[in-house]
Amino acid sequence: MAEENPAAYEPSLASALNNLGNRLSEVGRLHDALAVAMEAVAIYSQVAATSPADAARA
């Protein structure tokens, strides 16, 4: 499904990456947490630019 319409899953992916970043931070893996959080922000930004309604729900 994601191969057919990847944009439909980007808000969920960004949310999952944000959660992963939080967990990595909690266990002291700050460098990894930052990298994952930056990826989540990039996806959220892309979603917001192309579909503000989807970004508001993410």
Residue 29 DSSP code: -
Closest to 23 measured CA to CA, from 36, 8, 42: 36
- For residue 1, tell me if it sits in a domain: no
pTM: 0.82
The answer to whether residue 48 sits within a structural domain is yes
Block mean pLDDT (10 aa), the chain, length 58: 80 95 98 98 93 68
Full residue range of the structural domain in which residue 53 is found: 6-57
Instruction: Decide if 7 contacts 43 (C-beta within 8 A).
Output: no
The answer to whether position 16 is within a domain reads yes
Q: Total domain count for the chain?
A: 1
Q: Say what the pLDDT of residue 27 is.
A: 98
